[in-house]
Structure formats: C-alpha cells, structure tokens
Structure 1
Amino acid sequence: MQYRKLGNSGMYVSSIALGNWATHGETVDQDVATACVRKALDLGITTFDTADAYAGTKAETMLGEALKGVRREGIEVMTKAFFPTGTGKNDRGLSRKHVMESINGSLRRLQTDYVDVYQAHRYDYETPLEETMGAFADIVRAGKAHYIGVSEWTVAEIRAGAALAAELGIQFVSSQPQYNMLWRVIEPEVVPVCEELRITQVCWSPLAQGVLSGKYGASAVPAGSRFAADDGGLKTEHKFMQPEVLERVERLKPIAADLGVPLATLAVAWVLANPNVSAAIVGASRPEQLDDTVKAADLALGQETLDRIDGVLGDVVQRDPAKVESFLTRV
C-alpha cells in the first residue's frame, strides 16, 4: 500500500480507500460489511469513506460497527452531508442547521468523537456559501472534524470555498469527484485549479461502477449485477452501459494481460497515475474483491501504457468539464 498526503495537510491517506456507497445497508449485511472492512485493514487500507445519506444513514452505522475496536488514531474516516437524511425541509442541503445536525448524527452512527475529513457532498445553491463555510469552521474548531473537503464542485465553487476557508483559518484539503478512464471531466479545469490551491482528489467510481472490471459485455451480463435487466440483457440507460463503450473496455484486457494484472487493477492504477490524486475509493461486496484493486497501489504505469489506453478508448472518453455533477444538482 502507498500512503499519500491529502491536499495541503500533513495527514496521509492510503492510496486505496474503502467506500461503502451502494454496499453497506443496501447489498450487504453487517457481517459481510465487517469482513470487508477487516480485509481492507489487513491489506493496508486505512482510509474509509462514507456519507450520511448512504442507505438512508445505515451505511455510517454499519461502518461504525465494522470499525469497532480498531485503533482510532490509525485510520482516517471521511463522511459527507448534503443529500436528504429525512423527510423535513431542513433534512438536506448545507444550511447551518442541517450541517450542525448532520455532523452530530454522523459521529453518533460512526461511534467516534471526530471525523478526519468532513465533506460537502454537493454544492448547495439555496444556501449562502458563507453560511456553509462558517458552520464547517465551527465544526473544525469544536474538534468534530480535522479538515474539510467537497464533492463534485465546479472550479468557481472550489475557488470561492477555498478563499473562505483561508479567511476562516481552516484547511480545505480535498475534492471528491467521479474519475476513471472513461470519465475525465475534472482534467481540463478542476485538476489544474486544485493543483494551484494545493487541494487533492479522492476519486469515486474508479471502476466506472464495475464496467472497468471487465465483467460486463454487450451480450454477457452477470446475473444479479446492478446493470442486468429482468430479461437477462443489459440496462443501457446508464452512460457507461453502451455497446460501443463495452466494446472498447473489452479491448483494454490485453493491455492488462501484458502487465500481468486483472483489468480492475489496471483501471485503479490509471486513476492513481494522476499526481493530483491522493486516493481512489473502491467498494466491495465480498472481501476477496479487494485483492485485485489493492494491487493497483504498487502498479506504476508508464507513458506507453497510458498512450495505449487512450488509443483504445478514443472518443468514448467523456472530457467535457460541464459534466461536473454540481451542474446536474442545480437543475
């Protein structure tokens, strides 16, 4: 395992982080969740990412149970607030009311006194940024979080947030975007600005929700998988589940084979090859799934390999910076 500095902080994170979106509380029970967390720890993963809204708050509860008894100083826990956690008008967003209530709920569910990084899960267009950042600053000063971060913010939003964080004397250290071989929308604008501001990326979906594991094909869909239709065919409404995309992904397998690794390892290593990336967040519904993804921490990709990947994927790669998800949240 590699360990990399997070943003402008002195804290290290494991280059592979375990996330529990779409697993804990949704597809796996507590016993399996605990087994996955313990496997992660055995493999050198020390960084764990979750959010209050995952599985209707159950994901945080399950992570807290799974980490029970683990030396708190030896791990880094990241969580987020923004999406609904209840039915009330104030059970969402980044108002001071919701942020303050959310951090307390997260700490209770995670069974900890603090999180290492507290993140704005999206940008809130209905709340003044000054209100949100002021609440974040109070959370840091109260010792309930060490650092702050954001997820899927645009360049302008990151700049404004970083300026306020500096004024308030707190450290804005991380951005959590979707980033993988197929989805590179942060490269034109977000990454350069984050490099300037000394903010690093903690990337979600490095496997493009399983597509870059190579398990999906235009005519072969694993039964019970998230993109399997009732008739056994492929659900094609998702942006990655298109025949032309799957055909290009299939052509990546010889590149992985030449390196002697599974495609999933190659995909995660590709994300880690970006010097602005501190960690890639992987999921697991079975402990053994982590064996392949963790190998990526020690796989350095040369320029020839990176060029081969680009040549294979060609125009199926999405690079449009307007696709950063904050734009979608605003609609």
Structure 2
Amino acid sequence: MRTIQIEGLDKPVSCLIQGSDFFRPNVYEKVCTVLDGYFAIGGNTIDTAHIYCGGESEVAIGQWLKDRGNRSEVVILTKGAHHNRDGPRVNPQAIASDLSDSLERLGTDYIDLYALHRDDPAVPVSVIIDALNEHIRAGKIKAIGGSNWSVQRLQEANDYAAENGLQGFTFSSPNLSLAKPKEPFWAGCISANASDCAYHEQKQLPLLSWSSQARGFFTGRFSPEVRDNADMVRVFYSDANWERLRRAGQLAEEKGVSTIQIALAYVLNQPFPTCALIGAQTPEELESCRQGAEIKLTRDELSWLENVE
C-alpha cells in the first residue's frame, strides 16, 4: 500500500487509515477481525478520538495492541479537546486531560499523530502550540495536527511555531471528498474547498481526510428520489453532486472499477500528500478500498470529476 511521510514521525503512514468510531470492547471479536484484515492488506494507521464511543474505541484498540504485541509497527492517530455541552475546550488543561486519558486507554506512552478535534479561534495559537510542545518534549506526542481547523489558523499556528523554534502542525484532517457538502455534517466541521486544496498543494502539507467517501454517497444507495436519510439530503443532495456521481460512474465504467473506488481515488490522487480515513467493516469493503487506493487519476481527470459548475 502507498504511504506518505509526516514530519515528526519515523514511520510511514499508509494512505488508507482505518476508522474506529464503531469499536467497543463488547464487540472485540469484530475489532480484531477488522484490524487484522486491515493490516493484512498493508495498512498501518488507526484513527480514533478521545470522544469515540465514550472512550471505548481507544480501550478496544489498546486491548488489540496488547494482544498483538505490535505497538511499534502501528501508527496511532487520536484526537482531543473536542467541545462538550459547556462549549469549546481547546485549552492547555483540556488537552493535557484528554491526552492522559488516551494514553491510558491505549496502553501506550506516546501518540504518533495527535490532532485537536476542533478549534477555538478565541484562544491564541501561541497558547495552543506552547501546550502541545510541552507534550512533545515529554515524549508523549510525535507529531501534531488540526482536525477541522481552517488553513488560516493552521498557518498562523505554524508561523508562531517557526518564530519561536517550536514544532508546528505537520498535518491537517478536514473532510475532503468528491461530493461537496452544502453545509457541515456536524457543527464546527471543516471541508476542504478549492482554496484550501491550493494551500495544501503550495505547502505540501499532508491532508488526512475524514468521510473520504462522503458517507456512502457513491455506493449507489442514494438518488434524488431516495430521501430517507435527512442528514445526507441536507449535506450532499445537490445538482452538482448528482453530476459528480454521474461522472464518477462514467469514469469507473471506463476503467473497469466501481464508482465508490473512483471517489476514493479522487482523494488519494491530489497534488499533495493525502490519506483517506475509511470505515470498512467487512473483508469485501476492505478489498474495495485496497483496490481503490491503487487507481491512478490524472490532474485532468480530477478536474473533470469535480468542476461541474
């Protein structure tokens, strides 16, 4: 499987990253089946978060790491400082608390890729970068990034880090998919637009895309007449996306692959380093993702797929 390099890590990161928002200890057999299958196809990176399943996702992953004895071979991407019912929590205290929880649950003494799950523009980037660098110096974090951070805030943070001899953000994790959202799927979420992608290309900043396949928009399950999923209708139902779906299907037929594999290939063939977070739960879904990750698309094909307006 193709890999990318992220500054701060001495391990490569596989272009497919296995999601774990359905992992729990009470379905541990399924967790093992999914992770064993994912690693068998060449993957090495697991995405999780402090809030997933109330922390049980990290617990289940920690048990798998212990049982397999393979921590040194695995890249862990976890996220912290998500807001709660009281509001934003992007501050040194919340970061320290969430990181401590995650390390304990995962049964490890370091996190490979640590992302702030949300941003709080009211907090100066200096406060955030200083706090994260304390944990880097302590050996608890290898590389830091922003999940759902604007490129403007990412650059502001990295400018501060460079001016002060500190480690800045070396990856970003917004949504990037061929289907373009009309509005955020969840409040505070960021989807990379053309301007954001231009920034990533200029900086060659790695982008790790969540909902890389637009929550199943390209599976064939959805059409303008099928409106049983209110969130999908709200976020992805648009004339432009139906045309992107049609074009993806046309290109898939020409290449002898599936439409959803073209959607995955769109993410993985950007002119900057990218990875796609996947939610594969069966061997068939894993194999589809593996094949999709091998598809090559040209710059012209990418432009034709997305530029429909």
2:195 is aligned with 1:189: yes
Contact 1:217 1:247 in 2 (8 A): no
TM-superposed CA distance for 1:101, in Å, is 0.8
* Cα distance per residue 1:94-129 (max 9 Å; x no partner): 211110111010111112111101111121234332
Q: For 1:187 and 1:126, how far apart are their aligned partners in 2?
A: 23
Q: 276, 280, 291: which is aligned to 2:272?
A: 276
* Cα distance per residue 1:240-259 (max 9 Å; x no partner): 14577346524532321221
Contact 2:14 2:45 in 1 (8 A): yes
Q: For 1:161 and 1:286, how far apart are their aligned partners in 2?
A: 39
In the alignment, what sits opposite 2:73?
A: 74
In the alignment, what sits opposite 2:32?
A: 34
Q: For 1:258 and 1:149, how far apart are their aligned partners in 2?
A: 38
Q: For 1:308 and 1:32, how far apart are their aligned partners in 2?
A: 39
Q: For 1:210 and 1:141, how far apart are their aligned partners in 2?
A: 40
2:219 is aligned with 1:213: yes
More relative contact order, 1 or 2 (CA 8 Å, 6+ apart): 1
Give the TM-score normalised by structure 2. 0.85
> Once the two structures are aligned, what percentage of the paired residues are identical?
24
Superposition pairs for residues 1-331 of structure 1, below 5 Å?
1-7=1-7, 11-21=11-21, 23-25=22-24, 29-68=27-66, 69-84=68-83, 93-166=89-162, 167-183=164-180, 186-219=192-225, 228=228, 237-242=233-238, 245-246=241-242, 248-303=244-299, 305-310=301-306, 314-315=308-309
Output the amino acid matched with 1:62.
A
Structure 1: 5+ residue runs without aligned partners?
222-227, 316-331
Aligned length: 298
The 1:251/1:272 distance shift into structure 2, 3 A limit, reads closer
Output the amino acid matched with 2:2.
Q
Output the amino acid matched with 2:47.
D
* Cα distance per residue 1:65-100 (max 9 Å; x no partner): 233324222121111112246x6x59x512111101
The 1:24/1:256 distance shift into structure 2, 3 A limit, reads same
* Cα distance per residue 1:116-171 (max 9 Å; x no partner): 01111121234332222111001111111101111122232011111233324224
Contact 1:203 1:277 in 2 (8 A): no
The 1:196/1:259 distance shift into structure 2, 3 A limit, reads closer
Q: For 1:46 and 1:100, how far apart are their aligned partners in 2?
A: 26
Q: Describe the SS at the equivalent of 2:293.
A: helix
Give the superposed CA RMSD: 2.7
Output the amino acid matched with 2:33.
A
Contact 1:107 1:113 in 2 (8 A): yes
Give the TM-score normalised by structure 1. 0.80
